[in-house]
Amino acid sequence: MYEGKLVFAQLMDHLPQHTFRRYAERYGADRWIKSFSCQDQFRCMAFGQLTYRDSLREVVTCLNAQQAKLYHMGIRSAVRRSTLADANERRDWRLYAAFAATLIASARRLYAGDTFGADLEGAAYALDSTTIDLCLSLFPWAHFKRTKAAIKLHTQLDLRGNIPVVVHIDDATSDDREILDLLTPEPGAIYVMDRGFIDFVRLRRFAEGGAFFLVRTKKTLRTRRIASRPADRASGIICDQIVAPALKASLAKYPHRLRRVRVKDQVTGKTLVFLTNNFALAASTIADLYRCRWQIELFFKWIKQHLKIRSFYGTSENAVKTQIWIAVTVYVLIAIIKKRLNLEASLYTILQTVSVTAFEKIPLDQLLSGCQSPSHTDLSTNQLNLFDD
């Protein structure tokens, strides 16, 4: 009989505890705290994410029902709803954002050699944002419309492993393109975006920084053809051209040449037009890259369905950001465990299994290696039609 650690404790062992303590010290999160440390707060909130608890009351009730096991879960203090609520209200959310960034860096190293559906050796990122609706009477600080509150998650997703590299929580009225101002262009990397990200000033900064971009064009965007390249119409490539902005104002903002690729989906008959500053990739690879952009839509769908980021345990801005960053940490932690244990199961299957075995004493690799992974629930296989608007 296995007499080792609880499943929950084994999950937490994959976290760099020394790094967490360093960040807690940096942000003074445990200063003047005699009991219920940031470590206790994090583990209680992570438990809520892993087991689909809808409220702090549910989190505390479930934990206290297993009070004899709290110490073995790494929770050193008694858990009370008011104490946990107060911690979410007052302790700096930046601690959890910094800790998530450390895990993200570890996950990216683990998935660096993975393929993702396009013939590309360098780094590839998808950029997009999603809106989370809130109740205006409970979240007045997140005012969006006259009768509505909301926040927006701007995200940069590494397509190798579907790891969120950058997550920026902002006002719902913010423009999607604002995330481009937060990023430092990575030389040689390609950034895949939808048509809402067309901004020649911002795209010029990426191009001159040595990075590549791939963006879907708008119908109203005017370009001037300079030259044409061979196009394989049998594969759906209608045209492959060298172009420049047609309007003087646009040309002043982006004085470099662009590549314009028009692609037709042979199944639906719909046509998309892309602009990029990469002249070396095959036109078919350009189309494949944009198809992979759908992974960020699936990422948003996944975290909204399987983690608690639509219903919140607290109503303050600090509590909301704390909960979101801990949810991101849990997502990345599951991705790390999947890779470290070389599991075939999907993230969904791993999360479901952990949710009902958190208090069990079963070796984690033994527990998860036998999991069946329904293909329709995996993030990477749940593909929708590329050409749906």
Residues 6+ apart with CB under 8 A from 269: none
pLDDT at 231: 87
User: Whole-number mean pLDDT of the chain?
Assistant: 91
pLDDT at 222: 93
CA 246 to chain centre: 36
Give the model's confidence band at 372: pLDDT under 50 very low, under 70 low, under 90 confident, else very high: low
On whether the CB atoms of residues 129 and 155 are closer than 8 A, the answer is yes
Q: Is the pLDDT reported for residue 378 higher than 90?
A: no
The average pLDDT across 341-348 equals 93
pLDDT at 382: 47
Q: Is the pLDDT reported for residue 54 higher than 80?
A: yes
Give the model's confidence band at 189: pLDDT under 50 very low, under 70 low, under 90 confident, else very high: very high
Of the listed ranges 75-84, 214-223, 341-350, 379-388, the least confidently predicted one is 379-388
Between CA 246 and CA 224 the distance in angstroms is 5
Q: Is the pLDDT reported for residue 137 higher than 90?
A: yes
The average pLDDT across 59-66 equals 95
Rg (the chain; Cα; Å): 23
3-state secondary structure the chain: CCCCCCHHHHHHCCCCHHHHHHHHHHCCCCCCCCCCCHHHHHHHHHHHHHCCCCCHHHHHHHHHHCHHHCHHHCCCCCCCHHHHHHHHHHCCCHHHHHHHHHHHHHHHHHCCCCCCCCCCCCCEEEEEEEEEEECCCCCHHHEEECCEEEEEEEEEEECCCCEEEEEEEEECCCCHHHHHHHCCCCCCCEEEECHHHCCHHHHHHHHHCCCEEEEECCCCCCEEEEEEECCCHHHCEEEEEEEEECCHHHHHHCCCCEEEEEEECCCCCCEEEEEECCCCCCHHHHHHHHHHCHHHHHHHHHHHHHCCCCCCCCCCHHHHHHHHHHHHHHHHHHHHHHHHCCCCCCHHHHHHHHHCCCCCCCCHHHHHHCCCCCHHHCCCCCCCCCCCC
CA angle 161, 166, 171 (to 5 degrees): 135
pLDDT at 279: 95
pLDDT at 384: 43
> What is the percent of the chain with per-residue pLDDT over 70, rounded to a whole number?
95
User: Bigger pLDDT: 100 or 33?
Assistant: 100
pLDDT at 383: 45
**pLDDT tens string 249-300:** 999 999 999 999 999 877 777 899 999 999 999 999 999 999 999 999 999 9
Burial category of 378 from C-beta neighbours within 10 Å (exposed 0-12, middle 13-18, buried 19 and up): middle
Q: Is the pLDDT reported for residue 33 higher than 90?
A: no
The average pLDDT across 165-187 equals 94
User: Bigger pLDDT: 375 or 189?
Assistant: 189
pLDDT at 388: 44
> What is the percent of the chain with per-residue pLDDT over 90, rounded to a whole number?
83
- The residue whose two tokens read 């995200």 is 155
pTM: 0.91
Between CA 190 and CA 186 the distance in angstroms is 8
pLDDT at 2: 56
Q: What is the phi-psi region of residue 300: left when phi exceeds 0, alpha when psi lies from -120 to 50, beta otherwise?
A: alpha
Nearest Cα to Cα of residue 135 among 121, 155, 150: 150
The average pLDDT across 9-30 equals 94
Q: Is the pLDDT reported for residue 371 higher than 90?
A: no
**pLDDT tens string 214-237:** 999 998 899 999 999 998 888 889
Nearest Cα to Cα of residue 333 among 77, 70, 17: 17
pLDDT at 373: 52
Q: Is the pLDDT reported for residue 72 higher than 70?
A: yes
